[in-house]
Amino acid sequence: MKRFVIVAGTRPEIIKIAPIIRHMVDNKIEHKFIYTGQHYDYQLSTQIIQDLEIAEPDFSLKLQSKTPASQIAEIMTKLENQVKGKNDIIIVQGDTNSVLATALLAIKLKKKIAHVEAGLRSYDWRMAEEHNRRMVDHVSDFLFAPTKTSYQNLINEKVSGKTFISGNTVMDAIREHLPLADKKSTVMQKIRFSEYALGTLHRAENVDNEVVLNKIIKGIISSKICTVIPLHPRTRKMLKKYNLLDRLKNEKHIQILNPQGYLDFLSLMKNCRFIITDSGGIQEECTSPLLSKRVLVLRTSSERPEAISMKIAELVPLEYQKIKDTIKAEWDKKPVKVKISPYGKGDSAKRIVKTLQK
């Protein structure tokens, strides 16, 4: 009998893997959940697991490394004994260092690899995520593409594994947890604006680049639009380094929050006018009919072309004036209403597990 080993290391991975874990628990399917600790901040990891009401990981790593290369090496070393000697199928989700490290280890241990959210492509080689997902796709045995476009990317690249269109498990997560957020979240009591845009920023190519980060912050501030910004630890660190944090804090139309748990962030998304972000996952989430929010994407490329083609997401050039003008124009637009998401109906976890069992 095969055992499924599910490995996750960041907030988005935990959110998207939770429906798979829940389905396996409900159906008494043998599995092991391992957390790599790539996101070490409490609100980005442990709080998310509690919000999602899934069991604590069977094993958690405590990483010492900070650089990508040493982090990948450390994950591989510490993970080896947890999957050694078992007839395991390793399940990874997404495109982080944790995903690449786990996939490389699985190859060396001759384990089968299932890659959830396979086939995404930005064709932007500045992004570490683009390197990671391409490599993982080409060594995986089972590839679960969320959409027809991502599936076609895999066919075009002639990957060796078996490919399937599964939808995206983030739709499962929203369907399962938005009602819980409505009941439990208290974050809206802290928001001092009756209407607001929601802002998030974390990608290295934006926050580690002083010139780009200055343009983004200047554009958001000068738009004069009420904006709520939960600050990722990495972003807070770089804002402080470049003397931009106090600038944000001193603006009356900007409200800075600490990183939010999943339920609170769902509530913030549901109640905002629109979202300003460089996140990939948020582009997917906002296509859910339960959220239906426009997304201004602070990037030059996106691996979610489906969200852009349906005009939920819009790429915004990383220039101060363009960012400012786009935010101001978005504030005056009518809310969007999504009827069908290209990322599925919220039954992806069931489809993925069923396929893997076969």
How far, in Å, CA of 66 to CA of 6, rounded? 23
Strands of 31-35's sheet in order across: 59-60, 31-35, 3-8, 88-93, 112-116, 142-145, 162-165
How many residues does the structure list for the chain? 358
Contact 52, 16 (CB under 8 A): no
> Which two structure tokens, joined as six digits, stand for 63?
């990483």
Please, are residues 137 and 154 in contact by the beta-carbon 8 Å criterion? yes
Active-site annotation holds for 202: yes
Q: Tell me which DSSP letter residue 188 carries.
A: G
Using DSSP, state whether 267 is helix, strand or coil.
helix
| Residue type (1 letter), 275 | I
Tell me if residue 33 falls in helix, strand or coil: strand
CA atoms within 13 A on the CB side of 163: 21
CB atoms within 10 A of CB 209: 17
Catalytic residue among 177, 202, 232, 253: 202
* Cross-strand bridge partners of residue 59: 34
- The distance from CA 195 to its chain's CA centroid, rounded to whole angstroms, is 25
Copy the structure tokens of residue 24.
Answer: 């396996």
- DSSP letter at 245 equals H
Alpha-carbon distance of 183 to 171, in angstroms, equals: 19
Distance between CA atoms of residues 288 and 174, nearest Å: 8
- Assigned token pair, 115: 């890659």
Active site residues: 202
